[in-house]
Amino acid sequence: MARKPSSASHSDSGGNEELNLSPIMALLVILIPMLLAMFNFFEVKVQAVAAPKLGTGKTSKTDPDKKPLNLTVLISKQGFLIKQQDELTDAQEKPIPKDTFEIEVVEATGVTTKTAEDYDYPSLYNRLRAKKQRYPEETTINIAAEMDIPWHVIARTIDAARIELQDPSFEGRERMKKYMASEPVMKQSKKDIDGDGAVTDSDVEPVAMFPRVVFVVAED
């Protein structure tokens, strides 16, 4: 409503009137939920992978006494198969078939247990750990998969080969649960992991098993 000039000039509000923050509040109330919706509450990390090799290829190493292990995990719809240089022609390793596991799934309603068929990552880890103990110098693992194997299976396979876990092996029906909850073995790092500007006792990193991953594609 329009005020008379006289009443406006004689109003007692003067300079003491408080700033009306309600419009700014309204703006913030809209902006903050919008930004929260844009915000990611998960961490994005990266897995380094070397460029793929087409076919088995020839080794570039010239030293005949030091043949590369050429450890390869083949992922098929049935499960895993591990091969290495001296086994490429005749399969000696037993395949690791898929199995049925009871897995705890965290949902909005709580933790539920589901029984489902899945790749036997714990058994794959057991075999790869045994390989690492036999060939401690080897750091490379080749990953080959059937063409329709989805990326999440490959990512979990890389995870099983990457680092050493505290449990030496995973056996029995509960092995998937134990494997999923298992913590990595940590060692003192030579790098400044925590970013405090110095290498201290708190700078620890996981003990690597096969950190160098190479994608391999078999030629038709």
**Total of residues contacting other proteins (CB under 8 A):** 53
What is the rounded CA–CA span in Å between residue 193 and residue 199? 8
Q: Which residues of 24-45 are buried (b: 16+ CB within 10 A; e: fewer)?
A: eeeeeeeeeeeeeeeeeeeeee
Q: Which residue has the tokens 């103990």?
A: 133
Closer to other proteins by CB, 52 or 95: give it. 52
Q: How far is the CB of 39 from other proteins (least distance, A)?
A: 6
Convert residues 5-24 into a mask of x (bound to other proteins by CB under 8 A) and - (unbound): -------------x--xx-x
The candidate with the shortest Cα–Cα distance to 68, out of 217, 220, 218, 210, is 210
Please report the sign of the dihedral spanned by the C-alpha atoms of residue 42, residue 106, residue 206, residue 157: negative
Q: How far is the CB of 201 from other proteins (least distance, A)?
A: 19
The interface with other proteins within residues 48-67 (CB under 8 A) comprises: 48-52, 54
Q: Are 157 and 124 in contact (CB under 8 A)?
A: yes
Contact residue for other proteins among 4, 45, 66, 190 (CB under 8 A)? 45
Q: How far is the CB of 165 from other proteins (least distance, A)?
A: 8
3-state secondary structure (DSSP) of residue 204: strand
Query: Which residues in this chain contact other proteins in the complex, by CB under 8 A?
Result: 18, 21-22, 24-25, 28-29, 31-32, 35-36, 38-40, 42-52, 54, 75, 121, 145-152, 154-156, 158-160, 162-163, 179-182, 184, 206, 215, 217, 220
